[in-house]
Every structure is written in structure tokens, then in C-alpha cells.
Amino acid sequence: MEINEKVERVNAQYRQRNGLNRGLSNPSLSSFLKKEPINQWLKDSLVDGAWAELGCGEKSLFEEELLPGIENKSDLWGFDLSDVAIDRANSWGRCHYHQADLTKGIPYGPYQILLDGHFLHSLCSLPEVFTVLGHILQSLRPGGRFIGEVMTLHKNISFDSDLYFDFDKRVLFQGSIPIRTILEAREWEDLFKNCGFEIEFFVCQASIKMIPGNKRSEPMTGDPECLRFTLKRPNTKNKGISE
Ligand SMILES: C[S@@+](CC[C@H](N)C(=O)[O-])C[C@H]1O[C@@H](n2cnc3c(N)ncnc32)[C@H](O)[C@@H]1O
């Protein structure tokens, strides 16, 4: 893949961390996947088809003991824009890791499960998020699920002084660089529905704050909140989706 400015930017973040991150899968996402009914849905899908994590970084959550039997599942994929992260993941992990710019499409597939590794809100504009959701829907098998967590706005939102949030565009900037797209929960809901997903699980976890920048590791009250979701590609043809 071409190493352009966008790739260099994510590579720089991984180089800064300076080493394997294998012990540090995202704890919030991991706990979400271990909770019911999500964990039971994963168990039910274990032999139904391939799974992929989008924006997996240096370690896919599929490397963890999320459920019994996952250690024997061979069709697990991990995609990320950063070749530095993917090289590190490949150096020790057992998933099929590939560098990919997911705004251009989801490689291979179709998938029974797609996991959002805190990637969706890392996209740089609302149109980009809309496009990627379209790719996700198309790469799921009918009845397949897209599971994840995204940042949401709330009435007490505030951002660190090195960040600027454009409320009209819903884009967070660090200097001139767009780093996050953050919507209100009802805007995420509308977007998911407009893209053709069936919403199966949709819970705003106000108690979980998500840190949008890279200057601190302790969450603060004004940080975006966490929206947990499970979206399904409808099984039937009545929503105009080709099977
Ligand atoms: C917030 S990080 C999360 C990384 C990891 N899943 C975790 O939870 O620690 C978002 C990830 O999305 C990746 N990413 C951003 N834009 C992408 C794109 N267009 N295509 C593929 N991956 C992308 C970044 O490289 C980064 O690894």
C-alpha cells in the first residue's frame, strides 16, 4: 500500500509507543465483548464464518480469551492503516493481519462478525464515516453483526486546550489535523439506520469516558462518553440490500 501522509501520521503514533503493545488490548471494548448478550452472540457465530477487527492496531482483541473455542478459530482477520502496527501484530499474533485503508473498502470477506476496534470515530469526517459504514454493511453476510464502541457528545463536553472541536462538522482537530468524528448518540442512531443497519443493541455508557487526544491517560468529566452498539445486516431483501 502507498505510504502517504495519512499512513505516516498513524505510523508516527505507533513508533512513539516504541514497542509491542501486546499486553494492552482495549479494556473497555474487551469488557463489552465479554458481557451478555454480546458474548452469547459471539459464541453463536463461532463457526458461522470469518470475523475481522477494523482498526486492530498492534493487537486484535481476537487474540484474547473472549470465549471458549476462539483459540481454535482460524478465520480471524485484523486490518489497520498503519504498517508499523500490522508488522508488530504479525510478528507474534495468530490472526491474519493486513494493512488496509478501510475508507476504500473492507478486504476479503464476507464476514459474520466485524468488530470496530475504536476505529469508526477515528475517521476524519462525517461523509467518510458514512462511506465506511456502507462498506461494512456490504462486507457482512446477511444476518452478520457489526459490534463496537464510539465516542459521543454530551451536554458537559469539553476538550483539552490543544484540541479544537468544529461543532458544525462534528470533527475534532489537533492543530489543522482532523483526528476524530464525534456525534451525539441520536445522530449515531440516525446514521446507522440510514446506512441500512438493524440496531440490535444501543446503550450509552455515560460512566465510561473516552479520551480523544494523546496527552493524558486519566479520563475527565468533560471527555466524550461511550456508546456501545451491535448492528445487524438485515436477513431479508425487503430493505433493498442485495444478498
Ligand atoms: C483509536 S486507535 C485503536 C487501536 C486499537 N484497536 C485499540 O483499541 O487500541 C484507531 C485505529 O484505527 C486505525 N485507522 C484509522 N484510520 C484508518 C483507516 N482509514 N483504515 C484502517 N485503519 C484506520 C488507526 O491506525 C488506529 O490503529
Kindly report, residue by residue over 20-45, the tens digit of the pLDDT: 555 567 889 999 999 999 999 999 99
Architecture per CATH, 5-232: 3-Layer(aba) Sandwich (3.40)
Domain limits, the chain? 5-232
Q: Helix H segments across the chain? A: 5-17, 27-34, 38-44, 83-90, 126-139, 185-194
pLDDT band at 119 (very low <50, low <70, confident <90, very high): very high
Query: Does residue 117 line the site of ligand 1, with CB under 6 A?
Result: yes
User: What span, in angstroms and rounded, lies between the C-alpha atoms of 153 and 174?
Assistant: 17
CA angle 114, 43, 151 (to 5 degrees): 40
Residue 114's beta-bridge partner residues? 52, 146
Q: Please tell me the predicted confidence (pLDDT) of residue 216.
A: 85
Query: Does residue 80 line the site of ligand 1, with CB under 6 A?
Result: yes
- Ligand 1: nearest atom to the Cα of 10: 25
Query: Does residue 183 line the site of ligand 1, with CB under 6 A?
Result: no
Cα dihedral 181→81→52→216 (10° resolution): -50
Q: Is 197 left (phi over 0), alpha (psi -120 to 50) or beta?
A: beta
Q: Please tell me the predicted confidence (pLDDT) of residue 217.
A: 84
Q: Helix H segments across 95-195? A: 126-139, 185-194
- Residue 119 Cα to ligand 1 midpoint, Å, equals 5
What is the best residue among 81, 84, 180, 182 to mutate for testing ligand 1's pocket, by most ligand atoms within 8 Å of CB?
81
Q: Please tell me the predicted confidence (pLDDT) of residue 240.
A: 52
pLDDT band at 243 (very low <50, low <70, confident <90, very high): very low
Examine the pLDDT at 76 and tell me if it is beyond 90: yes
List pLDDT tens digits, range 205-220.
999 999 998 788 899 9
List pLDDT tens digits, range 159-181.
999 999 999 999 999 999 999 99
Cβ neighbours, 10 Å, residue 166: 10
